[in-house]
Amino acid sequence: MKWLFQPASLTQVTHLQRLWLYVITILAMAFLVTPTLVVIPMSFSESQFLEFPPKQLSLRWYENYFMSSQWMQATLISVKVAILSMFAATIIGTAGAYALWIGTVRFRTALWGLFALPLAVPVILLAIGSLFVFARLGLVNTTLGLTLMHTAMALPFVMIVMTSGFASYDMNQEQAARSLGANRVYAFFTVTLPQVKFSVISAMLFSFFASFDEVVVAMYISTGSGATLNRKMFASLRDQVDPTIAAISTCLVTVSILLLLISQLARSRRAV
């Protein structure tokens, strides 16, 4: 316990004096991850009802998920829309962030406001409004319709991530490339893009996840056979608590954990 009496900061506050902060932190961290982790054992329970810890283990809920053509179709639609939105939002958002970052365009502040707008608009409003508009255009229940909405909703995240990427990048580099004979486009792709690639990757992750995570708009403009995984989960969540959802959730959490661990390892590898 010697560490408790050692200084924790330049101001020589000891760890003991900060103990209350550490207690809050550990409680908060437990509060943050408990719900994410609690679904995992639940998903292996034999019982129809909630039991913790499960009395008997089984994979029946996983079977339920993977053998159901409806669940599989919904998953496929979600993944497809998320991938399409990811590429669309990253490309459109990066182009927009670049133009606004260079800064010679007119109405810069107003355009920033427009690109950030989806963050401020209550999603339910977008959902109902898009249903009304898309019904006229025949876009309800289509991949295109859902992709359009999810791309627009992911744009603010892409803009924020890319702008901070450009901000920490030395624009002199691009001037240097141009002085060496590269036109703007070539300079961007050979010099700027490789140096902001980590921002591009996180923009892609953000926009993929934003689409995959989205429920409300999907609730309105994707129904029946066109429903996304989230929409189907939400529907069965409201009707009754189906342990199949625990199995699906476990799959999703596993993917999240894997991605995080990979990024963590990549980061420590880079630090070496």
Partner 1 sequence: MSASLTSLQARRLNHEALRRAARRERRGLEALLLPGIALLVCAVLLPIGVMFYLSFIGEDGSFSLENYLRLWTTPVYGEVFKITFRISFFTTIIVAAVGYPLAFVLVHLPGRLQNWALLFVLLPFWTPVLVRTYAWLVLLQDHGLINDGLISLGLISEPFELSHNVTGALIGMVQIMLPFLVLPLFSSMKAIDQNLIAAASNLGATPARAFRDVFFPLSLPGFLAGILMVFVLCLGFYVTPAVLGGGSVIMAAMRIDATVRLYTSWGAASSLGIVLLMITVLLILVATYVGRRAGQGLFR
Partner 2 sequence: MELRVGKDGVRGKSLPITTRSLNKAYGAFVALKDIDLDIKSGEFMTLLGPSGSGKTTLLMVLAGFVRPDSGSVKFGDEEVIAKAPHERGIGMMFQNYALFPHMSVFANIAYPLKIRKWPKAKIATAVDEVLATVQLTGYQSRRISQLSGGQKQRVALARAIVFKPQILLMDEPLSALDKNLRETMQVELRAMHERLGLTTVLVTHDQREALTMSDRVAVLRNGEIAQIDSPAALYNAPRTAFIAEFIGESSLLSVSLRDGACFYRDQPIDVADNTGGASGLLILRPEKLEFDNAQRRRPDRNYFFGSLERVLFQGESSLAFVRLAGGELVTVRRHLNEANHEDFPAVGSPIVLSLHKNESRVVRDDRGQ
Residues 167 to 226 in contact with partner 2, rule: CB under 8 A: 170, 172-173, 175-183, 186-187, 190-191, 194-195
Neighbour-count burial of 122, counting CB atoms closer than 10 A to its CB (0-12 exposed, 13-18 middle, 19+ buried): exposed
Q: Give residue for tokens 């050979």.
A: 190
From partner 2, partner 1, none, which one binds at residue 93 (CB under 5 to 8 Å depending on kind)? partner 1
CB of 72 to partner 1, least distance (A): 18
From partner 1, partner 2, none, which one binds at residue 155 (CB under 5 to 8 Å depending on kind)? partner 1
From partner 2, partner 1, none, which one binds at residue 172 (CB under 5 to 8 Å depending on kind)? partner 2
Residues 100-159 binding partner 1 (CB under 8 A) are 100, 102, 104-106, 111, 114-115, 117-126, 128-130, 132-133, 148-149, 151-153, 155
**Of residues 253, 258, 233, 234, the one with CA closest to residue 37:** 253
CB of 93 to partner 2, least distance (A): 22
With contact defined as beta carbons under 8 Å apart, do 124 and 216 qualify? yes
CA distance 166 to 48: 52
How many residues are present in the chain? Answer: 272
- DSSP codes, 94-157: HHHHHHHHH--SSSHHHHHHHHHHHHHS-HHHHHHHHHHHHHHHT-TT-HHHHHHHHHHHHHHH
**Token digits of residue 139:** 């876009």
From partner 1, partner 2, none, which one binds at residue 191 (CB under 5 to 8 Å depending on kind)? partner 2
Exactly one of 2, 3, 49, 224 binds partner 1 (CB under 8 A); that residue is 49
CA distance 72 to 168: 42
Kindly state whether residue 14 participates in binding partner 2, applying the rule CB under 8 A.
Answer: no
With contact defined as beta carbons under 8 Å apart, do 172 and 131 qualify? no
Please identify, among the stretches 48-56, 59-67, 69-77, 173-181, the one whose residues bind partner 1 according to the rule CB under 8 A. Answer: 48-56
Q: What are phi and psi of 261, to 5 degrees?
A: -65, -40
Q: 22 or 70: whose CB is closer to partner 1?
A: 22
Q: 86 or 149: whose CB is closer to partner 1?
A: 149
From partner 1, partner 2, none, which one binds at residue 182 (CB under 5 to 8 Å depending on kind)? partner 2
**Of residues 161, 82, 72, 57, the one with CA closest to residue 119:** 161
> What SS3 class is residue 169?
coil
CB of 187 to partner 1, least distance (A): 13
From partner 2, partner 1, none, which one binds at residue 252 (CB under 5 to 8 Å depending on kind)? partner 1
From partner 2, partner 1, none, which one binds at residue 247 (CB under 5 to 8 Å depending on kind)? none
* Chain residues that interact with partner 2, rule: CB under 8 A: 170, 172-173, 175-183, 186-187, 190-191, 194-195
